[in-house]
Amino acid sequence: MTDRRNNIHAELMEMLQMLKFTLKSGRSIDFTQGTSRKDVMDFIISTMEEEIMVPEDINAYVQSLMSTIE
């Protein structure tokens, strides 16, 4: 059993632990939350706006991108 657990990626293990906690605490899980037509359209629009937006300070922008991969 331990060998199998060691093969699970850390992010997947965290997700499974969150799911387990949610189920044990008696809370309901809603996998459709945030999938309404309005939510999806808002997400698409905000993503498109981010893609076409030109940053004023390119160095700050590059640093913000680099901080997300560390």
pLDDT of the residue at 31: 77
The structure's pTM equals 0.37
On whether the CB atoms of residues 42 and 49 are closer than 8 A, the answer is no
pLDDT value at 3 more than 80: no
- At residue 33, what is the residue type? Q
Cα dihedral 22, 23, 26, 28, rounded to 10, equals 80
- For 9-65, the pLDDT digits (tens) are 888 998 899 889 888 888 887 878 888 999 999 989 988 887 787 778 889 888 888
- At residue 52, what is the residue type? I
On whether the CB atoms of residues 62 and 55 are closer than 8 A, the answer is no
pLDDT of the residue at 64: 86
